[in-house]
Amino acid sequence: MSEKVSTENQEVKGVDLFAFLRDFLHSLKRMWPLVALITAAAVAFAYYRVTTTYTPRYVADATVSVELVNGGTYANRNTAEQMGLIFPYILTSGALSDVIASDLGTRSVPGTISAKNIKGTNLLTISATASKAETAYNILQSVLKNYPEVAQYVVGQAELTVIDESGIPQDTGRTAVIRGSVRNAALIGLAIGLAIVVVRAALSRTVRSESELRDLVNVPCLGTLPVCSRKKRSKNTRMEINILTDNDKGDYVESMRLIRTRLERRMAGGKVLMVTSSVAGEGKSTVSANLAISMALKGKKVILVDCDLRNPSSGKIFHIEESYPGLVAVLKGEATIDEALCEVKHNDESTGLFLMPGADTPSRLVEILGSEEMSRLIEQLKERADVVILDTPPSAVLVDAMILVKHVDAVAYVIMCDYARRRYIFDGIEELTSGGANIAGCILNGGSTHSGRYGYYGSYGKYGYGRYGYSRYGYSRYGYSHYGSYGSKDSKKKD
């Protein structure tokens, strides 16, 4: 029996900066379209906002020389510096504003005024800003006319000589404002996108290679099944692999043979094998079916039992359209084993593989898996076949696999590459080992380049949502509350 997974070690690994950086880069590789979309949306929104709400600002300015009446060059330079320094105070006092407003015939100055001394000279730059070009120009002319009169009380009598003047200004700030707004929006959008990637990398720690799997759990890896891609005919068509009919899956077939050989060695003569996974959608039913085919092609008589009573899928993998009574009918005494078993043939020839389909039934009937009838059925199947394979629901989500553990000799644990979170893998394996299961090994499904939930190894939804009734908030319609004596994890552990 495999040792329990150490959650303490996982917590230590959880703060590994190199592992986090690796997860971040991997998440960024997968999510860069989302980051680009968020950035583009932020830029588009900023551009629309600034172009529709932008108010033009016209700036009229003039460079003037300041000269004191009967003053020398030093006095003139000192006066210009003083005028540049005291201008804000003069403007705040309202003296200049009142004079300019009166000159323009308005109640207040329809813009803003500023002045700055060119250091080390007697030159002063005066600027007037307003929402209209003519207004800005008129304000500037009024300042040039009235400023010496207001400033004489501070610096004495001075004359302003215009050296350079902008004339009626144009709005040259619009491009700069749009460019700055777009730049800031792009940075904000990029930051939001990267923050999402960081959160995803922190929360969605998955397994992507055999080395990561070995570091994660103290369970041997039986092998890796490569990615097998092909075009779907429609969105509703399930595309499970069947090595009996798919002749172009050489790498997959060879990988399955290797896994079969290692699994047979670890079963040590045992007849009953359970195939399960952490969560739904990891391809355990496809692995079960092809493992059964691989064993049958070796000359063994194999019986594959679909124990997934909520969502049976083995019949679809073998393209069996004829209706068979199924597992539940046998357990309830409504059909015999011979009536429920369907022989899988290839080119009208026997393969030595038989399938007992599941049954799409309410979850209340799942408790029948723990009945005496189930025990007797497995014993009878062992007498009829060399290997009995039980395809069960995910062990980290439902208790079905735990119910059947007492009947099996070994467990093959399927882990989809870059799919289930590590804590789900921990929970699933620990549940089985705590129940006395012999974990023969893990099968890494989908290789190192599989894109996760968008593959075709199963279509249940991420982490078992949907048909299994599991959600992040607990177990709902098809949850533990309908299992009778197996009604909860607590009651299960008490048993």
Which tens digit of pLDDT belongs to each residue from 144-197? 888 777 777 666 676 778 888 888 887 666 778 888 899 999 999 999 999 998
Locate CATH 3.30.70.1130 in the chain: 58-165
Which tens digit of pLDDT belongs to each residue from 210-233? 777 787 788 888 988 987 755 444
pLDDT band at 35 (very low <50, low <70, confident <90, very high): very high
Map residue 319 onto helix, strand or coil.
coil
Given the structure tokens 């099996």, which residue do they identify?
A: 408
Superfamily of domain 58-165: EIF_2_alpha (3.30.70.1130)
Q: Is the pLDDT of residue 243 over 80?
A: yes
Tokens, residue 136: 């800005």
Averaging pLDDT over each range in 83-92, 174-183, 245-254, which range is the top one? 174-183
* Number of alpha helices (DSSP H) and beta strands (DSSP E) in the chain: 16, 14
Question: Which ranges of 204-336 does DSSP label H, i.e. alpha helix?
Answer: 210-216, 250-267, 284-297, 314-317, 327-331
CA–chain centroid gap for 149, Å, is 69
Stretch 38-59: mean pLDDT: 88
Nearest to 411 by CA among 385, 427, 391, 425: 391
Which tens digit of pLDDT belongs to each residue from 268-288? 888 999 999 988 888 889 999
Q: How far apart are CA 174 and CA 332, in angstroms?
A: 80
Q: How far apart are CA 416 and CA 428, in angstroms?
A: 13
Superfamily of domain 207-494: P-loop containing nucleotide triphosphate hydrolases (3.40.50.300)
pTM for the predicted model, two decimal places: 0.60
Stretch 6-14: mean pLDDT: 42
Which tens digit of pLDDT belongs to each residue from 440-461? 999 998 875 333 333 434 433 3
Name the strand (E) or helix (H) holding 436: none
Q: Is the pLDDT of residue 376 over 60?
A: yes
Q: How far apart are CA 273 and CA 414, in angstroms?
A: 13
Beta bridge partners of 53: none
Q: How far apart are CA 293 and CA 495, in angstroms?
A: 36
Question: Please, are residues 207 and 425 in contact by the beta-carbon 8 Å criterion?
Answer: yes
User: Which comes out higher in pLDDT, residue 429 or 494?
Assistant: 429
So what's the pLDDT on residue 230? 52
So what's the pLDDT on residue 40? 94
Question: Please, are residues 439 and 411 in contact by the beta-carbon 8 Å criterion?
Answer: yes
Stretch 132-140: mean pLDDT: 88
Contacts of 248 (CB under 8 A, 6+ apart): none
